[in-house]
Amino acid sequence: MTMINTNVGALLARTYATRAAEKMQTSMERLSSGLRINNAADDAAGLAVANKMKSQLGGLKVAIRNSQDGVSLVQTADGALDEISKLIRRMRELAVQMQNGIYTNQDRSNAQMEIKSLLAEVNKIAQNTQYNKVNLLDGTYDQTVRAGNTNDESIRIAIGSINTSSTAKITNFAVEKAIGHTSTSPSRTNTQNELEVFEATSVQIDTSVWSDAFKTSFNTDSLGTFQITGGGDQGDFTVDAKTGKLTSNAAIVSGVGGSGNSPSDTPGGAVTGGQFQVQVTYTHSNGSTTHVETLQINVKDKAETSLDDVKVETTADAGRAIETLDKALEEVSTAQAKLGASQNRLGHNIDYLSKGSMLTEQSVGRIMDADFAAETAELSKQKILSQAATSMLAQANVSKQAVIALLR
């Protein structure tokens, strides 16, 4: 049918030219932005998934930074503990040195001055070690590191106090050595040999604190043998037959009252009124001469001590100091081990988050990023179609001119 009011060919050409232009604009937008999805109309479902994954990706990246900050905090605390460990080891060297019997009271006083200085330095480090203005070693730090995208992903870091007053607390020392009772007369007989000892897991009594009567007998013949022969509590003691050293594991007392109270009896124990009594017979090498030594041991209540109570002013103090310092060193080492474990855990967490972040970013890219090869091919295709449609639109317009011949 020949008509001029409705040019069907022109309408079709215009429609396809418009479509080609729109698709060409979409391809140019994608190639310009590098994104396949520039608005929700491009891929509504894909955009929704990508937004969730972008949120997850942002959380992972922040969690990586959190974990890295946690590593820095742990390293700061560990560095301070390492220095405290050096100070404790130096104090232990002094304690071992002062347990030797060759030093004067002035020597021990000088050593004690260094001990006090080192203890002050330990407290200074404990009170002033900070990370981002947060105290680490004063016992107040107990926090969590947000180590992932969800609320359940957290790592707790707790650091105990390293103050000298709260480190190496000891209620009973492992070993105590008896000393001469302060109320005894300067010259003691074997019937007046009263000794003092703090409650402990094990008590040792050597012949250096026995009576003057024993020392006189021993000096005449030191080749004899020792034997426990009585005293009421002889079952709680053992004796070295050659040296005369007595050892008892029954002097640790439970249920003790406040400071200064006499220890009460242990259930089924032999302590009466906080006292032990044992008799040792020393037989000279000739087999006929003997000396019977009666030892009255008063067990004194020991108050709880800690690192700040370390003293080296006597050999007994130095012995106690070694035990205290060993415990302090063990506690510091344990704290360092915990921090090391936390640092390793944070390091593994960073590796895990980094891998997850990389894979998540790849996934977002697959959804959002434009495929340049496909888009350039599409752009070329739409350009050709646009040009063809434009050409056909021109042909459609020209085709109607044939109607004019009918009017001539």
Q: What is the pLDDT of the chain when averaged over all its residues?
A: 87
- pLDDT at position 269: 41
Please tell me which residue, 386 or 104, carries the higher pLDDT value.
104
Q: How many CB atoms lie within 10 A of CB 373?
A: 8
Give the pTM: 0.74
- CA-closest candidate to residue 200, choices 259, 250, 264, 255: 250
- The structure tokens 């037959």 sit at 241
* Cβ 131 vs Cβ 168: under 8 Å: no
Strands 142-146, 134-135: pairing is unpaired
Residues pairing with 300 in the sheet:
198
Percentage of the chain lying above the pLDDT 90 cut: 54
> What's the mean pLDDT in 377-391?
87
pLDDT tens-digit map of 13-36: 888 888 888 888 888 888 888 888
Helix, strand and coil in the chain, % to nearest 5 = 55, 15, 30
Q: Say whether pLDDT at 293 is over 70.
A: yes
- CA-closest candidate to residue 299, choices 253, 255, 257: 253
* pLDDT band at residue 253 under the 50/70/90 scheme: low
The 3-state DSSP class for residue 111 equals helix
pLDDT tens-digit map of 38-84: 888 888 999 999 999 999 999 999 999 999 999 999 999 999 999 99
- pLDDT at position 172: 82
Backbone CA torsion sign across 266, 270, 276, 282 = negative
Please tell me which residue, 334 or 316, carries the higher pLDDT value.
334
* Cβ 87 vs Cβ 118: under 8 Å: yes
The whole-angstrom separation of Cα 46 and Cα 33 is 17
In this structure, what DSSP letter does residue 256 have? -
- pLDDT at position 271: 43
Q: End-to-end CA distance of the chain, in Å?
A: 19
pLDDT tens-digit map of 176-201: 888 876 554 556 777 778 888 888 88
* pLDDT band at residue 167 under the 50/70/90 scheme: very high
- pLDDT at position 182: 56
CA distances from 308 to 90, 106, 143, 198, 200 (A): 15, 21, 28, 19, 20
pLDDT tens-digit map of 117-135: 999 999 999 999 999 999 9
